[in-house]
Structure 1
Amino acid sequence: MGKPLFYEILEKPATSCIIGLCCAIWFYIQKKNIGYSHVGLSYETAIEGHHWRIITSALSHISVIHLVFNMSALWSLGVVEQLGHMGMGVEFYLQYTLVLVVLSGGLVLGSYHVLIQRFKLEYFRRVTAVGYSCVVFGWMTILSVKQPSSKLELFGFLSLPISFAPFESLIFTSIIVPQASFLGHLSGIIVGYAIAWGVIHGMTNYWAVSMLGWIVLVFVFSLKRSGAYDFSFLEIEPVTDPSLPSVRFLASGNGRTLQMSALPVGGSDLV
């Protein structure tokens, strides 16, 4: 007989919070009737400055089947939080979840760029990626290297050897769900191996908090700059006083003439 759900949630606090967040976002998307094109990541939207989509695309799911599949796999992978004795644990899980979200999203965009610019496959200009699968495949890969004897439990009854799970799941989802992002899943696997093999290493709480701060900053300003949301309170006021006369130099022969002009006080709005 398994443990009560409450105790499992306490053993996997970070995983439980991420699952709760993804479920809440899915509910909001359904309630507001938001389409995947509004939150997903594509090459076209990225070059237009919608860098915030790297985060929203990872946390958003459009169909309930997509959500259940990803969250079921993520719940099983939450065992990473309990492996502090193997150099992992809750802090490791949170630190490298940030890395997986950002780097796998960046790798997807890089792949699209190569396919479009080098191979002239314009189809990938409009392909939109949505879902937490990149991170799920990344953790599958990390666990397959760190603890190959583990099992990946899906839907409570399907069990896969974790050592083969990344590529088994990659093939399985490509066959069963043709619209699944092969490049997105493969990007998660590549970043996962880079973390597991120590190519990407050295994350600490300091670097994780710093990285999170930069993510929030870029997220907010790219959201504002793209016009997707109006953050009027982020406008920077000019340091000059428009009521004061302006000064400029005018060329006059071989010398320069100093000219002063007063700007109208009521003609400009400060935002």
Structure 2
Amino acid sequence: MGKPLFFEILEKPATSCIMAICSAIWFYIQKKNIGYSQVGLSYETAADGHFWRIITSAFSHISILHLVFNMSALWSLGVVEQSGHLGLGVAYYLQYTLVLVLLSGLLVLGMYHVLIQRFKIEYFRRVTAVGYSCVVFGWMTILSVKQPSSKLDLFGVLSLPISFAPFESLIFTSIIVPQASFLGHLSGIIVGYSIAWGLIHGMNNYWAISMLCWTGVVFISSLKRSGAWDLSFLEIEPVTDPSLPSVRIIGSGTGRTLQMSTIPLGGVELV
């Protein structure tokens, strides 16, 4: 008999949390009747400054089949958390999951840019990518290099050799889910090989936390600027004090003069 589910969850804490987050987001999307175009990533929306979609698109799933496929594969890939002896483990899993989410999303946009600007294929201007597949394919690729003898179980009935799983899954997904993003999955594979071969390396807790903080700053900033959600509570009110003198520079010919005034010329923002 296998281990009880409770003990498997304890052995894969990061994987279990990510699966719970993706499932909760899927439930919220269904309950609120949110369309994929509202949370997905496209070249057009990114060009408008909607950089927050790199994050929301990764954790959102519109189709239950897509969610089940990704979560089933992700659960099997949770073996990365249990492979500390191979230099992997929970910390490695979390650090490079962040890298996979960000870089695969940026790589997808880069591919769209080349196809649109260089090859004039306007279709990719509005095509929208949604789902955790980029990260799943990235971990498949990393595991195929780090532990080629492993197996990838899908739906509990299909077992694939991990060494061929990235490309087998790429073909399999394209067949059963025609709307699946080929470029999105391919970007995950490319970033995965870059990590596994050491082209992207050096991640530790410091860099991961720093990257996470900057991601949060860009996420909130772009979310506020795009006006997708009301973030008026983040507004900084201008504060003026008429009792404080202001300084202005007056140009006179080729010279400049400083002039003090007790009348405020404009708002002073205290950050």
Q: TM-score, normalised by structure 1?
A: 0.92
SS in 2 for 1:80: helix
Query: Corresponding residue for 1:215?
Result: 215
User: Residues 116 and 125 of structure 1 are in contact (CA less than 8 Å); yes or no, is this contact kept in structure 2?
Assistant: yes
In 2: Cα distance, 1:254 partner to 1:5 partner: 79
1:254 and 1:44, CA in 2 relative to 1: closer, same or farther beyond 3 A? closer
Counterparts of 1:10-25 in structure 2 under 5 Å? Answer: 10-25=10-25
User: Residues 242 and 262 of structure 2 are in contact (CA less than 8 Å); yes or no, is this contact kept in structure 1?
Assistant: no
User: Residues 246 and 265 of structure 2 are in contact (CA less than 8 Å); yes or no, is this contact kept in structure 1?
Assistant: no
In 1: Cα distance, 2:240 partner to 2:135 partner: 47
User: Residues 61 and 130 of structure 1 are in contact (CA less than 8 Å); yes or no, is this contact kept in structure 2?
Assistant: yes
In 2: Cα distance, 1:40 partner to 1:253 partner: 56
Structure 1, unpaired ranges of 5+: none
1:114-143 per-position Cα deviation (integer Å, ceiling 9, x unaligned): 111111111101010000000000000000
In 2: Cα distance, 1:131 partner to 1:99 partner: 16
1:81-110 per-position Cα deviation (integer Å, ceiling 9, x unaligned): 100001001111001000000000000000
Is 2:233 aligned against 1:233? yes
In 1: Cα distance, 2:126 partner to 2:213 partner: 30
Query: Corresponding residue for 2:169?
Result: 169
Q: CA deviation at 1:263?
A: 5.9
Identity %: 82
Q: CA deviation at 1:235?
A: 2.2
User: Residues 60 and 131 of structure 1 are in contact (CA less than 8 Å); yes or no, is this contact kept in structure 2?
Assistant: yes
User: Residues 249 and 259 of structure 1 are in contact (CA less than 8 Å); yes or no, is this contact kept in structure 2?
Assistant: no
Q: CA deviation at 1:242?
A: 5.3
In 1: Cα distance, 2:186 partner to 2:242 partner: 55
1:7-40 per-position Cα deviation (integer Å, ceiling 9, x unaligned): 1101111000000000000000000000000000
Q: CA deviation at 1:233?
A: 3.1
User: Residues 240 and 264 of structure 2 are in contact (CA less than 8 Å); yes or no, is this contact kept in structure 1?
Assistant: no
Q: 2:205 is matched by which residue type in structure 1? A: N
SS in 2 for 1:153: strand
Q: CA deviation at 1:215?
A: 1.1
Query: Corresponding residue for 1:121?
Result: 121
Number of matched pairs: 270
In 1: Cα distance, 2:260 partner to 2:22 partner: 61
Q: 1:220 is matched by which residue type in structure 2? A: I
Counterparts of 1:1-271 in structure 2 under 5 Å? Answer: 1-238=1-238, 240-241=240-241, 248=248, 260=261, 262=263
In 1: Cα distance, 2:168 partner to 2:222 partner: 37
1:152 and 1:236, CA in 2 relative to 1: closer, same or farther beyond 3 A? same
In 2: Cα distance, 1:121 partner to 1:231 partner: 36
Q: CA deviation at 1:241?
A: 2.8
In 1: Cα distance, 2:160 partner to 2:256 partner: 81
User: Residues 95 and 203 of structure 1 are in contact (CA less than 8 Å); yes or no, is this contact kept in structure 2?
Assistant: yes
SS in 1 for 2:68: helix
In 2: Cα distance, 1:212 partner to 1:262 partner: 43
Tell me how large the CA RMSD over aligned residues is: 2.5
In 1: Cα distance, 2:35 partner to 2:166 partner: 28
1:212-249 per-position Cα deviation (integer Å, ceiling 9, x unaligned): 11111111111111111222232234465356565545
Q: CA deviation at 1:3?
A: 1.1
1:161 and 1:259, CA in 2 relative to 1: closer, same or farther beyond 3 A? closer
1:130-168 per-position Cα deviation (integer Å, ceiling 9, x unaligned): 000000000000000011111000001110111000001
1:159-188 per-position Cα deviation (integer Å, ceiling 9, x unaligned): 011100000111111122221100000000
In 2: Cα distance, 1:234 partner to 1:51 partner: 18
